[in-house]
Amino acid sequence: DIQMTQSPSSLSASVGDRVTITCRASQGISNYLAWYQQKPGKVPKLLIYAASTLQSGVPSRFSGSGSGTDFTLTISSLQPEDVATYYCQKYNSAPAFGPGTKVDIK
Partner 1 sequence: EVQLVESGGGLVQPGRSLRLSCAASGFTFDDYAMHWVRQAPGKGLEWVSGISWNSGSIGYADSVKGRFTISRDNAKNSLYLQMNSLRAEDTALYYCAKSHYYGSGSYPFDYWGQGTLVTVSS
Give residues in contact with partner 1 (CB under 8 A). Answer: 1, 32, 34, 36, 38, 43-46, 49, 55, 85, 87, 89, 91-100
Long-range contacts of the stretch 52-55 (C-beta < 8 A, 24+): none
25 neighbors 35 (Cβ within 8 angstroms): no
17 vs 100, which CB is nearer to partner 1? 100
Closest by CA to 97, choosing from 52, 48, 33, is 33
57 vs 80, which CB is nearer to partner 1? 57
Q: How far is the CB of 95 from partner 1 (least distance, A)?
A: 4
Q: How far is the CB of 80 from partner 1 (least distance, A)?
A: 23
17 vs 31, which CB is nearer to partner 1? 31
28 neighbors 78 (Cβ within 8 angstroms): no
